[in-house]
Amino acid sequence: MDAYFYIILVVGLLSTIICATAGVLKKAPNDLTILSVAAVELSLLVYLVGSIVRVIGGEPIAGEAWEFWGYLVTALMLPVAAVYWSILERTRWSNFVLAAVGVTALVMAARMNQIWY
C-alpha cells in the first residue's frame, strides 16, 4: 500500500462518517457534507497526478494499465455525480449517496493499488 491509498482511506472514511451522520440526523446536504466529498475528489486528483508522474518516471503498472486507468477515471466521476445528485435532490437521502462515495473511493483505491503492484 502506498501513501495515496492511505490518504484516500482517511479522507474517504471521514467523508463517509460526516455524510452518514448528517443523513441519520435527517439533515439535507450542506456545505460540510458537500465539502467532505470534494475532499475525496481532491485526494483522487492527487492520486491521478501522482500516478501520471510515476508512469512518466518509468515505474511500471504490474497489472493491466487500462484497468488501472479505468478505475481511476470512474472513481474521479463518482464524487462529481454524487454532488450533482445532492444539489438536485436536497433531502436527507442525498447524504447517504454522498456517504457511499467515500467508501466506494476507498474500495476502488484498494483495487488500483492491487493492479499497480
User: Is a pLDDT exceeding 80 seen at residue 100?
Assistant: yes
Identify the band that residue 82 occupies on the pLDDT scale cut at 50, 70 and 90: very high
Q: How many domains does the chain have?
A: 1
User: Is a pLDDT exceeding 90 seen at residue 1?
Assistant: no
For position 6, what pLDDT does the model report? 95
How many of the other CB atoms lie within 10 Å of CB of 65?
13
The grid cell for 2 is 502506498
The grid cell for 26 is 435527517
Residue 66, domain extent = 3-116
Span 10-50, pLDDT tens digits: 999 999 999 999 999 999 999 999 999 999 999 999 999 99
For position 38, what pLDDT does the model report? 97
Q: Enter the pTM of the model.
A: 0.91
